[in-house]
Structures are given as C-alpha cells and as structure tokens.
Structure 1
Amino acid sequence: MDDQCTRTRREMLAVGGAAGIGALAGCLGGENEEVDVNYDEFPDFDPLDPEYPQPAGRLIEEGFARASIEELEENFEPRDEPRYGRAPRDPETADEIIDPDPLVFAWTPGEEQQVYQEGLDPLIENISAETGRDVEVQVIDSYAAMTEAFRSERLHIARVAAGNVPFAVNMTGAVPFSMPYGDGTFGNRLWIITRIDNDDINTVDDLVGRDVVHTEQTSGSGHLEPSLFLEEQEGIVPGDDYDISFSGGHFRSVRGIYLGDYEVGPVAGPIPEVMDNDDEINAEELKVVWAGPFARPLGPMCYQYNLPEEVREGIKRAHFDYDYGGTDLYEIVNRFDTFAPIDYATHYDPVLQVHEEQGIEYIEDNLD
C-alpha cells in the first residue's frame, strides 16, 4: 500500500462511520472479497469452558458478548462500601443543594455521540417531563472535560464509561444510579480480536512480540482489564511481552482491525455486534482469540449528588418507569430498552478490583 493510501486510511479511520469506511474502498483495492467462514474449522463452543479461536459471528449468535440480566444479581456479592476509593456523595447540608434549569445532560465521550443524539430524545423528553425542567444535551469530547463539568456542577446527568466511573465518583459529585441494558442482557465481555483470515494469531501466546492496539488508558475492557487478566491468567504482561498503542476508542479499534490498519487488540465484545448491525463491518470477518473471565456492567447513568431530591427522583422515574423498546433509544443507541437500578460498591466492584490491583490514582493526569 502506498504512502498516500496509508495516510487516507488513517484519516478515514478518524472520520469513522459507514461513510469513512466507504471512502476507503479504493485503498482496499475495490470491493472487499467476502470471507467464507466455516465454523467446523474452529473448536466447538462451550460458554462454560470456551476454546479459542472462535469466529466473532458465532459468539454474537451465542450471546457471548454480554451476559443475561439475571447474572447482574446472581454473580455480584453485595458490598456495603467500595473496596477502593470513596463512596458516592450525599448532600450534608441544605446549603449544598443546587437547582439548575436547564439540566445539562451528556453521553459518554466518543465518536458515537453524534450518531446517538437523535436516539436519546425519548429519554431526554421523559427526564424533562418527570423533573419539570428543560434538558440541554451537550457533547463532551473527553473524560477530563466531563469530570471537570461534574466537579464544577455544570453537568447534572451523564452516562459514564465503566472504567471511568470511579474517577467521577472520587473526584466529583457524580452518583451512579442505573445501568442501561437491552434484550435481557447486560454488560460486556472483554474480547481480543483480529481478522479471521489472520493465520498468524490464533491464541494469546501469539500476541508476544507484536504491536497490540488498546483503546484508551482509562478503558476497562480496552486496557485495564487485559493489562491485569492477561498477566494473572496467561502470564503475558502487556507493555513488556508486547508493545501497546492506543486507538482512541473501541469503535476505532474494531474499525482499524477490520480494515487491517491494526492487527489485533482488546475491545468490548458488544461493539463488533453494534457495528455489524449498523453495516459498518461484517463481524464474520473477525475472530476472537481470547475473552475475559466475566461480563461486567456497562457504564452507568449518573446524576449530580446535590440536585434537589424531587429532581433526583424525577430523573430516576424517567429511567425506571418507562419501556424504551421500539423507541429511537432502542433502535439507535445499542438496543437499550430498559434501565436497571445499580449499586456502585456492588456492581462496579470488578472495575474497582482492577483499579486497586493496578494502584490507579484518581487524579486528572490519569484521565483521557
């Protein structure tokens, strides 16, 4: 591939979306040849004792990117306090209460925000109706900016990625209260993916000596979890046994691996499915060479701790009292149809375990 084409591929990866991929057709040598996947050439799949590699398409069909919602309660031992860091704040005096109008709402930073804007309308309308406040949606481009907005009380409701929520809790007044899920499944499972026609990478041992693309430094499934669990379970130390580069997000990693700009890397399992549903990629052209030991909750919805009680209760009703199945929230935003109540200390304990093991400090320098 010539230098001009390489530059174009990098630029289009940053653009993202189906349009960006379509613009790469020339660099890919015209239309992609369809990959013929024969599942019989791979090990039989047992979700309780999986062998790898596995076609991503098969794991999507088996629901192995996520876990059933029943596991949210069955697999999490209740905890009174977080194992690491502080608990979410409660207002201690009336002087702390703020009463903003409009309420400012934000979704997780990342390239998908622009795509999701329309899909958030049903939730935004219900928050407004239940609180009696106007709601203003803001696009925030980084978790450092989101943390500062929460800390300065300019942000009042937001969805925060699981790997970043301890920063929000420990550095600001963010209170996690609900988790979106859809079709009876929750959370995501860490996958390490490569192209299915990459015959050089079939197990995690094949990562040694390579350049492996992680997503972002504060991402759970995109960086922190593989950094911990690959060493604990496989004896492979990321950063020592292989070189790490960062793509800037899960969608960029999946897109780059699919197009061949990156060779292999860890991502959140549901992302290839979402991109396949949106016709951005064909998930059948990817394979999974390793998966994490559990599915953990997705990033929660958070509210500012010192909103008036009636506003906080209205925000909760907008999440818990409505069925979003069949709405734009379901069709556009990761097929979310329901919000489950969550407890930060209990349900985000797997994230806190990773942070504790790695000695993560909740300071601004460690935010992306």
Structure 2
Amino acid sequence: MTLLRSLTCAAMLAATVLAPSFARAEFKLDPRFTDTNGDMVADTPTDPAKQLDPDTLIFAYTPVEDPAVYAKVWTEFLDHLAKVTGKKVQFFPVQSNAAQLEAMRAGRLHVAGFNTGSNPIAVACAGFVPFTMMASKDGAYGYEMEIITYPGSGITKVEDIKGKKMAFTSETSNSGYKAPSALLKSQFGMQAGKDYEPVFSGKHDNSIIGVANKDYPAAAIANSVMKRMIARNVIKPDQVVAIYKSQTFPTTGYGYVYNLKPELAAKVKEAFFTFDWEGTGLQKEFKSAEPPQEKFIPITFKETWAVVRQIDDAMGVSYTCK
C-alpha cells in the first residue's frame, strides 16, 4: 500500500472523530498540549524524542471539489518547500475537513492549509500552528460569506429562504455554516429545522455548483471560492445571485503541526515567506480573488482568528477532542 493510499484510508476511517459540539465553553487547547507563552497554540515538546523529523513532509490544502486540480496549483510551491527544507514533499488530497484534522492529530500530516472555520478545532485538537495566509501585494486579505441563490428561484431576500432548503458545507466551516447560522438566527429570527431545512454539501464547491445547477435553492458560501470557480469557468456569473454579504473574514490559514522539529519548522516558515509567486500555479489560481492573493503574510491565531472565535462563542460552539 502506498503512503498516499495509507494516509487516505486512515483519514477516511477516522473522519468522524473530531466534531464540534454546541455547549458554550471558552476556547482552550486539548489537555495533551501546553501553552506556556499564552499565544493560544500548542508549544513544541521540549523533549527531542517527541519532535517529528520526517523524511517526507506531507502537505494538504483545505478540501475542494477536485483535489487533483489543486495538486497542480501547488506544484511549484511544494518544489520550493522541498528545496528549502531538504525533504521530500507529498501532496495529500483530503476529502473532508474531518479527515484533514484527524490526519494531523494522528501525526500523518505535517504542513497544511486549514479553512477559516476549521482553524480553531485544528489548533485545539490537532496541534496546528498557523503562521501565515495569502494576501495581496499591499497586504489586503479576506473574504466574505455570501448567501446565494439562482435566478428564478423565488428567493430575492434572506427572509424568502423560510420554508425552503438551505445548503451549508460542514459544521466546522465559518462561512459555510457557523457565520450564516448565527446570522439567520440573530438577525432574521430563523432557526434550522424549524424555519428552513438545513442540508450539508461537504464543500463550498459543492454548494456553489449545487445552486448553479438548481439542486439547492440557497447556500452559504465563501465568495473567494466562488470567484475562483467563475474565473476557471466552472460556473457562469449569471447562474448565481447573491442576496447577502457579510463582514470580511480571514482566509485559509497555513502552518505546521506543533511537534515538528524546531529547525524544520523554521525552514517551513522560510519556504512560505521566500516563495516567488510570479508565473506559478498559485498566482494563476488565486489572483482572481478580491483582493487578489499574491503573497504569504505573517499572522497569529490569537489575533487574526479572534473574530472567528467570537462567532463560535456566540453560537455556543465548543470542540470535543476524542
């Protein structure tokens, strides 16, 4: 069995291990982690025997409709990561947020990009240490949650969703579930299961295509994903209509597992911040975002993800690490 197949099988078998629950609790790390400096992420173990120094670094991008497309998008970066770290690097095409989380928690995933909503559970339960995200050349970043429908659906405003199906992505997603759920309840007095029927597509791509093909009357999505899909001609702009747009949220956070050997972790950081985007698959794929994503900038989980943790708190979300 190949390394990639082993990773995929193990992650899929454990895909339901990590999940959010809904009992209000202050954000905290799993007891197996320590945080002596108060930065809200797990410390590297002081015992060298507990530090990871793998021959092959496994990298995973947040789940998407067609992982093969993104394997190509990340090719130049992963070649650069291999050169800087002196390690072999392999792209791991994860199929779900839960599979990605469990792979890192189990020590099988070393470097990754976790989507906005998954970052808190990745930090708390999997020992994820986010340190960067994409931004424009002038440092602008972020995306908005949009609620979309299709022309002729009969939905022209958020209130029209009442009595209909509403597509979400997964319960760990910020823009695909947590933010819109909080919005529908607090601002429009609409509760899932009572005022509308929630359905889960698994991914933003699925929700967007589902609305464009009229499978879902409405969906909550990250508009950065939709813009990239339009730029790739996956859907046409006139197939969807936005009826709500949120405040700006941070985008996918990139980082490494907490117990990576410090010298190797430093090389991983160096690779992100020295990568030349010009003419690469990353530039082609992400320049269509608004603002365009053209470089990696430093971030901290404590500060950059404060707004996301506030949404979790407002929803009464806590994370159970099993």
Q: TM-score with structure 1 length normalisation? A: 0.72
Which residue of the partner structure matches residue 211 of structure 1?
A: 165
1:191 pairs, out of 135, 146, 158, with: 146
Aligned-residue offset at 1:284: 2.6
- Is contact 1:197–1:285 with CA below 8 Å preserved after alignment? no
Offset from partner CA, 1:67-93 (integer Å, 9 cap, x none): xxxxxxxxxxxxxxxx62232111241
Structure-1 separation of matches of 2:109 and 2:224? 28
Which residue of the partner structure matches residue 27 of structure 2?
A: 84
Offset from partner CA, 1:177-228 (integer Å, 9 cap, x none): 1112346542210101111333x21111111111111122221111110111
Offset from partner CA, 1:314-344 (integer Å, 9 cap, x none): 1111111233132111113565421111110
Mapped pair 1:263 → 2:206: no
Mapped pair 1:352 → 2:309: yes
Mapped pair 1:341 → 2:292: no
CA distance 1:364–1:260, change in 2 (3 Å): farther
Which residue of the partner structure matches residue 241 of structure 2?
A: 287
Which residue of the partner structure matches residue 53 of structure 1?
A: none
- Is contact 2:286–2:294 with CA below 8 Å preserved after alignment? no
2:189 pairs, out of 230, 235, 246, with: 235
Which residue of the partner structure matches residue 22 of structure 2?
A: none
Amino acid at match of 1:251: D
* Structure 1 stretch displaced more, 278-287 or 153-162: 278-287
Structure-2 separation of matches of 1:241 and 1:261? 19
Structure-1 separation of matches of 2:321 and 2:127? 15
- Is contact 2:41–2:128 with CA below 8 Å preserved after alignment? yes
User: 3-state DSSP class of the match of 2:319?
Assistant: coil
Which residue of the partner structure matches residue 111 of structure 1?
A: 65
Amino acid at match of 1:291: K
Q: TM-score with structure 2 length normalisation? A: 0.82
CA distance 1:350–1:239, change in 2 (3 Å): farther
CA distance 1:351–1:326, change in 2 (3 Å): same
Mapped pair 1:311 → 2:264: yes
Structure-2 separation of matches of 1:228 and 1:143? 20
User: 3-state DSSP class of the match of 2:208?
Assistant: helix
Unaligned runs of 5+ in 1: 1-82
- Is contact 2:71–2:93 with CA below 8 Å preserved after alignment? no
Aligned-residue offset at 1:347: 0.7
Highest Rg: 1 or 2? 1
Which residue of the partner structure matches residue 129 of structure 1?
A: 83
Instruction: Provide the aligned C-alpha RMSD in A.
Output: 1.9
| Percent pairwise identity | 31
Count of residue pairs the alignment pairs up: 281
- Is contact 1:325–1:338 with CA below 8 Å preserved after alignment? no
CA distance 1:183–1:256, change in 2 (3 Å): farther
- Is contact 1:84–1:353 with CA below 8 Å preserved after alignment? no
Structure-2 separation of matches of 1:226 and 1:84? 21
Which residue of the partner structure matches residue 47 of structure 2?
A: 94
Amino acid at match of 2:298: P
Which residue of the partner structure matches residue 4 of structure 2?
A: none
Structure-2 separation of matches of 1:191 and 1:183? 25
Structure-2 separation of matches of 1:147 and 1:307? 16
Aligned-residue offset at 1:238: 3.2
Offset from partner CA, 1:251-278 (integer Å, 9 cap, x none): 1111111111111111111222111111
1:153 pairs, out of 107, 116, 120, with: 107
Structure-2 separation of matches of 1:109 and 1:338? 21
